[in-house]
Amino acid sequence: MLKHLPGPSTGHPLASDHKGIYTLSELVTRDSSTVKLYISQGVNIKMAVYAGQFEATSEYKTRHFWRCANGLKELDLPPFCLTHMDQMKKSVCDYIKNSWCSYLQEITLQSDPIALEVLLEAQKLSSYNKVWHFL
């Protein structure tokens, strides 16, 4: 039986020795200053996120690498992370619950007639079968 380990595999650029990163544990102490920010994805609904500065040690990945047409690029990331994880989880759930209709509306407005017909039929079916009962 294979055991699932959270996070990227060993050797992956985002792999870290700090396993708390993959379990959504707090990296910032509660007495540290944090900032509440609001982000959106272009659907006119905002999600509250909390960010705080942390002391980056060698176990943290603070440099991001990626490949593009011009070769390998890298970016030094500032030592900030999401914090207040209990509030963040609630904020993400609230955002999903409040924005899914906006996403579907945006998709249907940009759909061709056949795709729109399929989406509308799927909406009827989901309403009939109460697919969204978990929201």
| Per-residue pLDDT reduced to its tens digit, 115-135 | 888 888 887 877 666 655 444
Q: Alpha carbon of 76 to those of 23, 47, 80, 96, 125: distances in Å?
A: 23, 26, 12, 30, 47
More confident residue, 130 or 80: 80
Token pair in block for residue 49: 């996120």
Higher per-residue confidence, 82 vs 62: 82
Task: Give the 3-state secondary structure of 7-19.
Answer: CCCCCCCCCCCCH
Least Cα distance to 18 among 77, 61, 52 occurs for 61
Delimit the domains of the chain by residue range.
Answer: 19-134
Of residues 91 and 31, which shows the higher confidence score? 91
5-54: pLDDT as tens digits: 566 777 776 676 666 666 666 666 666 688 899 988 777 888 888 888 87
Confidence at residue 84, expressed as pLDDT on a 0 to 100 scale: 85
The SS3 assignment for 5 reads coil
